[in-house]
Amino acid sequence: MQYSPQADEETAHTTVRIGAVVLAGGHVPTTLAHLCDHRALLQLNGRYLLDYLLETLEATPSVVATAIVADAEALPPLSDLPGYRAAAGDSIVENMRHGANALVDENVTHLLFITGDIPLVTPEGLENYLLNSLGSAAALTYPIIPREASEIRFPGARRTYVRLREGSFTGGNAIFTVANLLDDKAALIQGLYSARKHPMKLAKILGLGTVLRLLLGTITLPYIEAVATRILGAPARAIISPHPEIGFDVDKLDDLVAVERALAEKTG
């Protein structure tokens, strides 16, 4: 079944049900390989990083159900965590599909795909993103965080920023879509997601004109959204988030230390 605007209109007249798919497959980055093998099994303070995220998802009002997608070998240790389970495949596309299929009995109208390595994300931050995404009436949204907000919250952290006329932004670790968009747009979504923190790769997907505008510093957010909408064949929007935690993933030991410090400040 292909994406259909009519299906969107039908969804608009039904109760919104958002299912969250936590993408936690794959091995840990080399810099964290001494801690464990699988990304899903990273721990901090005796808890899986996934546990912090799942706690947040359970406290997010708009999320009705959650599925964890992790390597098959990593699933047994995670049996006490809440949510459905799905074994990871060989690509992001497969993992997205597996997670969506795990939620089929929940009759979700929308899907939040989110990586499992952002333990500092808050219910307020997620709810803000979800409500703004729904309000945009887009079939796909992606959170972007202003550089100022990111650097104030995480001083000294290394993040990739892209400069637009509206300011400099870093990308978040989530994608929000209408449920039926995955049926025939999964490969394109994977490409966009994989390039999310590589401005030039993203620009190449979006076209030469986008590359030139990016190099000249004349690119605007509406322009990017218009190009993404054309390529996707469905409305796409960037959601500016004032909650930088949605873009702070754990890729190296310094990130883990920063998360530990932030959690200590929160509980202290």
29: left (phi over 0), alpha (psi -120 to 50) or beta: beta
Distance between start and end Cα atoms, the chain: 51
Query: d(Cα 244, Cα 191) in Å, to the nearest integer?
Result: 23
**How much is the pLDDT for 196?**
63
CB–CB of 63/22 below 8 Å? no
| Tens digit of each residue's pLDDT (9 = 90 or more) over 196-233 | 667 677 777 777 788 788 778 788 999 989 988 998 89
Mean pLDDT of 19-28: 96
CB–CB of 54/66 below 8 Å? yes
pLDDT for 268 beyond 70: no
**How much is the pLDDT for 72?**
97
9 pLDDT band, cuts 50/70/90, is: low
Alpha helices in 13-138 (DSSP H): 49-58, 92-102, 123-136
Q: What SS3 state is found at 226?
A: helix
**How much is the pLDDT for 81?**
96
- Pairing mode, if any, of strands 167-171 and 162-164? antiparallel
Residue 180, Cβ neighbours under 10 Å: how many? Answer: 21
Furthest CA-CA distance within the chain: 51
| Tens digit of each residue's pLDDT (9 = 90 or more) over 107-154 | 999 999 999 999 999 999 999 999 999 999 999 999 999 999 999 999
In sign, the C-alpha dihedral spanning 67, 70, 73, 78 is negative
**How much is the pLDDT for 1?**
37
The model carries a pTM of 0.89
Mean pLDDT of 60-79: 97
Please give the single-letter amino acid code of residue 83: G
Query: d(Cα 230, Cα 198) in Å, to the nearest integer?
Result: 21
- Phi/psi of residue 53, each to 5°? -65, -45
**How much is the pLDDT for 14?**
67
**How much is the pLDDT for 264?**
84
**How much is the pLDDT for 95?**
93
Mean pLDDT of the chain: 89
8 pLDDT band, cuts 50/70/90, is: low
**How much is the pLDDT for 267?**
67
3-state secondary structure 18-34: EEEEEECCCECCHHHCC
Tokens at 257, concatenated: 């230390």
| Tens digit of each residue's pLDDT (9 = 90 or more) over 251-264 | 889 999 999 988 88
Give the residue with greater pLDDT, 8 vs 106. Answer: 106
Give the residue with greater pLDDT, 158 vs 186. Answer: 158
**How much is the pLDDT for 186?**
74
Closest CA relative to residue 51, chosen from 73, 30, 27, 70: 70
Q: What SS3 state is found at 238?
A: strand
240 pLDDT band, cuts 50/70/90, is: very high
Domains of the chain, CATH where assigned: 5-262 (3.90.550.10)
